[in-house]
Amino acid sequence: MVAPFFVFFVFQPFYSELYSLRQQTVEIVLDTAIEKAAVKGRFENTEIQEMKDTMVNVFHYTPNEVVINATQAPTSRGNYIEGSLSVPSGQLWVMPNLFSDNSNDPQFISAYAKQMSEYLPR
């Protein structure tokens, strides 16, 4: 009877750390892309593809699992561009359904960023 508790307490910290690292990666990827997009005044296909490629190559998500919403209309200086990036959270518990119902667990890891545009139209 002690074995399930031992397994839980030994391996659960790794799942928690993995979730935290994924969350930080999503935020860093989005922040890096929005800095590039702010100079251009919008998210171009290159920034969107870089975000998608990073999430596919680093965490092995399929391209369909990576959801990106971003300002693609040209935005002049003084206005804001926005972007969001979401990926599935994956398994959060070493033994799902053993201690609690998993219906309240987050299904996605998401990040949102808003930054003022630096683009000067000519």
Instruction: Show me where the domains of the chain are located.
Output: 2-116
- Judge contact between 53 and 45, C-beta under 8 A: no
Question: Residues 30-51: pLDDT tens digits?
Answer: 999 999 999 999 999 999 999 9
- pLDDT bracket for residue 64 (50, 70, 90): very high
Counting residues of the chain whose pLDDT is more than 70, the rounded percentage is 88
pTM: 0.83
**Average pLDDT rounded to a whole number, residues 9-21:** 82
* Angle at CA of residue 47, ends 91 and 44, nearest 5°: 130
Counting residues of the chain whose pLDDT is more than 90, the rounded percentage is 57
